């Protein structure tokens, strides 16, 4: 079996002892890690023909995990230039009426490349977004997206599910302008078909999971029959139980987690994103069910409210980090989101001791793996685990001196410092060059699809600076 030896690096293991090994080595054999330790400890296990990767002046870490993002967002970055309502409307129009299989594949290839170059080896993305729009009229688009993710070499989850009541929902195929209107039965049929067709994609590196709109008890009663909401969740939870997949939701706040408990939507298989301004009942529901929280510190929702991350961690809740990427105003650089997380909560408590650098790195690695139910496979550099490994070049002005590596990673590093990435024991990025995809072709296809859909839907005006963009303290 082929071996790769990563040698002479600073190995931040994230193992139970949180060992940091100076001059350390990681031996990869096949898709797994065989050994981690000093060079003297690992050397006897190394085959003569092993490939060697010199990690001097680099930090070696587990692959980073992004717990929440949106398929499609990579091609709608910045639209509206700060007018969130205009950007949301554009997303809804593009995803429901202007997108094609080529659009979804081009966007998936683009953001997978961005993630790999940021050291993100595992991600969770909803098949759409804006508010609650999931493109679920056909399995074709989601499967095209998932295939492009896998071809880039990444590991990830793509969430499918029904859209917000009332039904039906109208979709237009961008390829031929044909129209479909889908009620709940039709949407659930497509979702189930997609999950079935997507099993085992790319050696099981790409998986599907489920989603559903977030409702609060007050919102459900606001002009909407609560019975429709309950029927939706009964259908989704039944499918989840039958398939054993993860369940994720986007936009919890202010009582909605307590309502999710009533709907049977909480458990250790649930990743609940944003979760701002939580009530005591919300927190109690999460603690009771061992549901997991995805904190997105750079998101617009974290401007509107605060996810009580330190309080949740102190209550024993597993919290992972997410980008909420990549639109309208953020990307997939998890180093950026780690730094944002620390400053965000320290400012709230006016206490620089809140959320140490080690904790936020855990939230992007081993805690994230635990949230996905995969801590036995991912999230740390330990023998027997999947060889998802990132080498960060630390020999740069903003990262010197070469001490306190975890602090420097969380506070000072950025995506551009990632040098080499392995996923499943395969080198997918070396010297910042992607090895499995043609990067210029990926960029050209993404630009072409973004341009096509903006022209097709008359959205070019959203690329122009709005009133107040220059010379003012706020947009008009």
pLDDT number for residue 450 = 94
- Provide the token pair at 334: 């998890």
Tokens 């050209």 label which residue? 444
Above 60 in pLDDT, residue 370? yes
**For the stretch 160-193, what's the b/e string if a residue is b when 16 or more beta carbons lie within 10 angstroms of its beta carbon?**
bbbbbbebebebbbbeeeeeeebebebbbebbbe
Quick: pLDDT tens for 216-270.
866 555 567 788 899 999 999 999 999 999 999 999 999 999 999 999 999 999 9
Q: How many residues does the chain have?
A: 476
Residues 385-393: what's their mean pLDDT? 98
Assess whether pLDDT exceeds 90 at residue 377.
yes
Asked if 255 and 279 count as a contact pair (C-beta separation under 8 A), the reply is yes
Is pLDDT of 208 > 90?
yes
Please state, for a pLDDT cut of 70, what percent of the chain lies above it: 98
- Residue 113: is its pLDDT beyond 60? yes
Q: Which DSSP category does 428 fall into?
A: E
Q: Are 380 and 366 in contact (CB under 8 A)?
A: yes
The lowest-confidence range among 164-168, 196-200, 310-314, 431-435 is 164-168
As a whole number, the mean pLDDT across the chain is 95
Cβ atoms 402, 57 nearer than 8 A: yes
Q: Burial of 317 by CB count in 10 Å (0-12 exposed, 13-18 middle, 19+ buried)?
A: buried
For position 299, what pLDDT does the model report?
A: 93
Q: What pLDDT band is residue 130 in, cutting at 50, 70 and 90?
A: low
pLDDT of residue 222: 57
- The encoded tokens of residue 118 equal 């940021």
pLDDT at residue 219 in the model: 58
Q: How many CA atoms lie within 13 A of 471 on its CB side?
A: 1
CA 157, chain centre distance (Å): 8
**CATH architecture of the region 3-62+380-434:** Roll (2.30)
pLDDT value for 216: 86
Quick one: average pLDDT of 436-464? 94
Return the domain boundaries, the chain.
3-62+380-434, 64-371
Mean pLDDT of 382-388: 98
Same fold, 3-62+380-434 and 64-371: no
- The rounded distance, in Å, linking the Cα atoms of 154 and 242 is 26
pLDDT of residue 120: 98
Classify domain 64-371 by CATH number: 3.20.20.140
Do 168 and 183 touch, CB atoms closer than 8 A? yes
What are the two backbone dihedrals, phi and then psi, of residue 433, each rounded to the nearest 5 degrees?
-110, 125
Residue 21 and residue 350: Cα distance in Å, rounded? 33
Q: What pLDDT shows up at residue 87?
A: 82
Q: How confident is the model at residue 281 (pLDDT cuts 50, 70, 90)?
A: very high
pTM attached to this predicted model: 0.96
pLDDT in tens, 75-111: 998 887 767 778 888 888 999 999 999 999 999 999 9
Q: What is the DSSP letter of 330?
A: -
Q: Check if the beta carbon of residue 346 is closer than 8 Å to that of residue 43.
A: no
What gap in Å lies between CA 5 and CA 49, rounded to an integer? Answer: 10
User: pLDDT class for 325, splitting at 50, 70, 90?
Assistant: confident
Q: Which SS3 state, helix, strand or coil, does residue 239 take?
A: helix
Confidence band (pLDDT; 50, 70, 90) for 365? very high
């Amino acid at each position: 079996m082929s071996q790769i030896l990563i040698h002479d690096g600073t190995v931040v293991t994230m193992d139970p002892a949180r060992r940091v090994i100076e001059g350390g080595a990681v031996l990869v054999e096949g898709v797994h890690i065989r050994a981690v330790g000093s060079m003297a400890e690992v050397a006897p296990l190394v085959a003569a023909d092993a490939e060697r990767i010199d990690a001097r002046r680099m930090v070696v870490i587990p692959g980073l995990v992004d717990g929440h993002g949106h398929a499609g967002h990579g091609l709608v970055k910045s639209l509206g230039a700060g007018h969130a309502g205009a950007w949301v409307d554009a997303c809804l129009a593009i995803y429901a009426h202007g997108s094609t299989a080529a659009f979804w594949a081009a966007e998936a290839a683009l953001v997978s490349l961005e993630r790999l170059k940021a050291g993100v080896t595992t991600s969770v993305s909803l098949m759409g977004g804006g508010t609650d729009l999931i493109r679920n009229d056909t399995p074709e688009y989601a499967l095209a997206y998932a295939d492009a993710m896998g071809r880039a070499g990444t590991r990830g989850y793509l969430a499918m599910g029904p859209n917000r009541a009332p039904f039906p929902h109208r979709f237009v195929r961008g390829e031929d302008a044909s129209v479909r209107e889908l009620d709940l039965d039709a949407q659930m049929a497509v979702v189930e078909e997609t999950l079935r067709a997507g099993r085992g994609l790319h050696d099981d590196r790409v998986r599907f999971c489920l989603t559903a709109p977030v409702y609060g008890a007050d919102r459900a009663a606001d002009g909407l029959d609560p019975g429709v909401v309950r029927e939706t969740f009964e259908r989704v939870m039944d499918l989840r139980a039958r398939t054993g997949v993860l369940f994720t939701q986007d936009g919890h706040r202010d009582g909605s987690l307590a309502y999710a408990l009533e709907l049977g939507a909480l458990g250790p298989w649930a990743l609940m994103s944003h979760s701002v301004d939580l009530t005591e009942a919300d927190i109690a529901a999460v603690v009771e069910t061992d549901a997991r929280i995805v904190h997105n510190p750079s998101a617009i929702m974290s401007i509107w409210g605060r996810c009580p991350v330190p309080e949740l961690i102190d209550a024993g809740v597993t919290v992972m980090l997410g980008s909420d990427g990549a639109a309208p105003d953020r990307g997939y650089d998890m180093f950026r989101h780690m730094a944002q997380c620390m400053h965000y909560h320290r400012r709230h408590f006016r206490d620089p001791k809140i959320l140490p650098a080690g904790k936020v790195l855990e939230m992007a690695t081993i805690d994230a793996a635990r949230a996905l139910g995969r801590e036995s496979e991912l999230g740390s550099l330990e023998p027997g685990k999947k060889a998802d490994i990132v080498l960060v070049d630390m020999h740069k002005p903003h990262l010197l001196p070469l001490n306190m590596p975890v602090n420097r990673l969380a506070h000072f590093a950025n995506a551009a410092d990632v040098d080499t990435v392995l996923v499943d024991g395969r080198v997918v990025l070396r010297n910042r060059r992607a090895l499995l995809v043609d990067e210029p072709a990926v960029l050209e296809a993404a630009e072409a699809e973004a341009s096509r859909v903006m022209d097709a839907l008359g959205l070019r005006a959203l690329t122009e600076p709005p009133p107040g963009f220059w010379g003012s303290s706020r947009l008009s």
